[in-house]
Structure 1
Amino acid sequence: MCSGLNSDYQLCEELGRGRFGVVYRCFSAASDSSFACKSIDKRLLSDDPTDRDCLDKEPKILTLLTGHPNILQIHKIYDDENYLHIITDLCDSPDLYQRLTDVGKFSEPESASIFQPLISAIAYCHHLGVAHRDIKPDNVLFDSRYNKLKLADFGSAEWFGSGGTMSGVVGTPYYVAPEVLSGREYNEKVDVWSAGVILYIMLAGVPPFYGETAVETFEAVMRGNLRFPTRLFRSVSPEAKDLLRKMLCKDVSRRLSAEQVLRHPWIINGGVTQSMADLT
């Protein structure tokens, strides 16, 4: 561990680990606050330039995105020969994946209360020319102090600039957009598709496109046959279904942008639809 890190922070318990690194809780005596420390062992990186690119890119992107309340904030970086240490917000509350696993699905107001800040974070990324490219519940965290949503894990993110396109198959089964799987170039609206999948799962308890294997799931995504089974959507409002149709639209030119999603009536009204209002 580098000396600068050890003089500024006390490393505490392990919170999780991935292919190249470990996330710890760390404590700063100077601020009397806890943070997360993502420690990446550079010696475990392969010679694949993609791995090196991700290592360099994520801290730069997080630094660029500093300031939005719903994006994981980077506080300090320590870099030496063998390790890269990234100090970020501490998010040790259950992530969205765990919350969905525990609850199954949410009411429309509950879904909107999570979805609005998520879309706000995505719109901010797009405004600055960054596409996340791996939006999924596992990357939707909640900080330990205020339970505030934080979009995290920008390892697959890419700069697309003004009107630019991207390429490369990245993302996660269930959440990846069909144009990514097709091998074509694509734009930042891949994030809107992925967010739409999350909203569908929050309201229905199951993903809109799935199969028994990753290949079957990808085939279902490519077909993009969006359905609202009555047994799952009986109590879901027409406004929510309208938003889902406009986000999970295979025609990218007709798919809403993140900014347009923020202006949709279902989002503006916090998931409280006219039919709900009539009951109160």
Structure 2
Amino acid sequence: MSDALKRDYQLCEEIGRGRFGTVFRCFKPSTGETFACKSIDKTLLTDSTDRQCLETEPKTMLLLSSHPNIVRLHDVYEDETHLHMIMDLCDSKDLYQQISRSPLAENDAGALFTPLMEAIAHCHKRGVCHRDLKPENVLFDRWNRLKLADFGSAEWFGDGERSMSGVVGTPYYVAPEVLEGREYNEKVDVWSAGVILYIMLAGFPPFYGESAVEIFEAVLRGNLRFPTKVFRSVSPMAKDLLRKMICRDVSRRFSAEQVLRHPWILSGGQTRGVTDLT
């Protein structure tokens, strides 16, 4: 462990574990504050893509940390075997845990989805595409503030002229153009966010299967449906927004800024008496 890290922070119990590292609760004696320490084992990074992620994540987080709905990076330490990132502590239930039992009412979904889209729009304004949006990467701090996390798969697209490539993401949430092996732009995040909203309102994903291959096939078909039994109580305005986010035609798919200007977002999911879908 880095001597500088041991000098500045006290590492406490493990609170999470991933493919390449472990997350610990940590304490800063000089201020009395608690944080999360993500410790990545560099010896497990066997290919160039993994090593690139190691370089990308802290740089991306530093670029985006000013936004209140993005996990903030406070310090970075590195030694021979590990990279340690000191971040906001988000030890409340993540979005997946909050929505896995039952769908949300529209106003509750709106209250969560709006800050998520504001975080995504902030990323896109800074030229960053997250590329792995899913409920497990939407965290909450002790004050229940939403925090977008995990930028290990993020890609910089600069001024919007540069397209991206590479199959990145999680089966239920990945956009079809990614699976097709085509070049793509930051609107892949909008597709993924639309899938998250669909799950919030329905309690299940729009495209599913018994295996990753079956899920990918359903995503590629892109046949968006709103089963009457479930969506009877969902407003036309919410369904309109979903159609404009989960849209196979990328040229017609909304941008993050367009999503934030949609009436459903502007109403905070309070749809009673609101019928304008322009």
TM range (shorter): over 0.9
SS at 2:35 equivalent: strand
Alignment of 1:71-82 (within 5 A): 71-82=70-81
Alignment of 1:193-272 (within 5 A): 193-272=191-270
2:155 matched residue in structure 1? 158
Give the partner amino acid of 1:254: R
SS at 1:274 equivalent: coil
SS at 2:67 equivalent: coil
1:30 matched residue in structure 2? 30
d(CA) in 2 for partners of 1:40, 1:274: 48
Structure 2 unaligned spans of 5+: none
The more displaced of 162-171 and 130-139 is 162-171
Shift of the alpha carbon at 1:276? Answer: 8.0
Runs of 4+ in 1 over 4 A off after TM superposition: none
SS at 2:248 equivalent: coil
d(CA) in 2 for partners of 1:188, 1:44: 29
Shift of the alpha carbon at 1:182? Answer: 0.5
d(CA) in 2 for partners of 1:4, 1:66: 22
Give the partner amino acid of 2:266: I
Give the partner amino acid of 1:20: F
Shift of the alpha carbon at 1:30? Answer: 1.5
TM-score normalized by structure 2? 0.97
TM-score normalized by structure 1? 0.96
d(CA) in 2 for partners of 1:215, 1:247: 23
d(CA) in 2 for partners of 1:92, 1:149: 11
d(CA) in 1 for partners of 2:50, 2:272: 49
Structure 1 unaligned spans of 5+: none
d(CA) in 1 for partners of 2:16, 2:37: 11
Shift of the alpha carbon at 1:275? Answer: 3.7
2:19 matches 1:58: no
Summarize deviations over 1:160-183 as a string: whole Å, max 9, x none.
111221000000011000000000
SS at 1:37 equivalent: strand
d(CA) in 1 for partners of 2:274, 2:201: 15
> What percent of counterpart residues are identical?
69
1:148 matched residue in structure 2? 145
2:169 matched residue in structure 1? 171
2:114 matches 1:91: no
SS at 2:65 equivalent: coil
SS at 1:251 equivalent: coil
SS at 2:19 equivalent: coil
d(CA) in 2 for partners of 1:77, 1:165: 29
Give the partner amino acid of 2:150: D
d(CA) in 1 for partners of 2:236, 2:24: 44
Equivalent pairs counted in the alignment come to: 274
d(CA) in 1 for partners of 2:120, 2:189: 7
d(CA) in 1 for partners of 2:175, 2:220: 8
2:44 matches 1:44: yes
2:8 matched residue in structure 1? 8
RMSD of aligned alpha carbons:
1.1
Summarize deviations over 1:188-216 as a string: whole Å, max 9, x none.
00000000000000000010011111111
d(CA) in 2 for partners of 1:190, 1:70: 20
Shift of the alpha carbon at 1:151? Answer: 0.4
1:18 matched residue in structure 2? 18
2:131 matches 1:133: yes
d(CA) in 1 for partners of 2:31, 2:147: 21
d(CA) in 1 for partners of 2:191, 2:110: 16
Shift of the alpha carbon at 1:274? Answer: 2.9
Summarize deviations over 1:25-54 as a string: whole Å, max 9, x none.
0011122111000011112221x1001100
